[in-house]
């Protein structure tokens, strides 16, 4: 899943320290669906499940960036 959102940005959204700019409702729902959580759980401070999900999301995004970078060389 290449949402294009950094871990820091997602954490800022979860912690209500940043307004969602450039993220669509569909993107948010896709993130929640992927990790099996509700939007309410995503924005609940102290909810533990998204922490692991964010690490996974960051790993997936990193892999996608590496893949795209490699494809540009072809």
At 24-67, the pLDDT tens digits run 788 778 878 877 888 888 777 766 655 566 677 777 778 888 87
Distances (CA, A) of 45 to 15, 32, 51, 56, 65: 6, 15, 11, 19, 29
In this predicted model, which residue has the larger pLDDT, 4 or 14? 14
The model's confidence at residue 2, banded by pLDDT at 50, 70 and 90, is very low
Write out the H or E segment, with its range, that includes residue 9.
Answer: helix 7-14
Domain edges within the chain:
7-73
């Amino acid at each position: 899943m290449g949402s294009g959102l950094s871990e820091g940005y997602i954490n800022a959204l979860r912690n209500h320290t940043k307004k969602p700019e450039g993220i669509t409702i569909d993107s948010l729902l896709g993130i929640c669906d992927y990790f099996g959580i509700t939007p309410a759980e995503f924005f609940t401070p102290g909810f533990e499940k998204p922490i692991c999900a964010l690490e996974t999301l960051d790993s997936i995004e990193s892999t996608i960036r590496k893949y795209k970078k490699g494809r540009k060389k072809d």
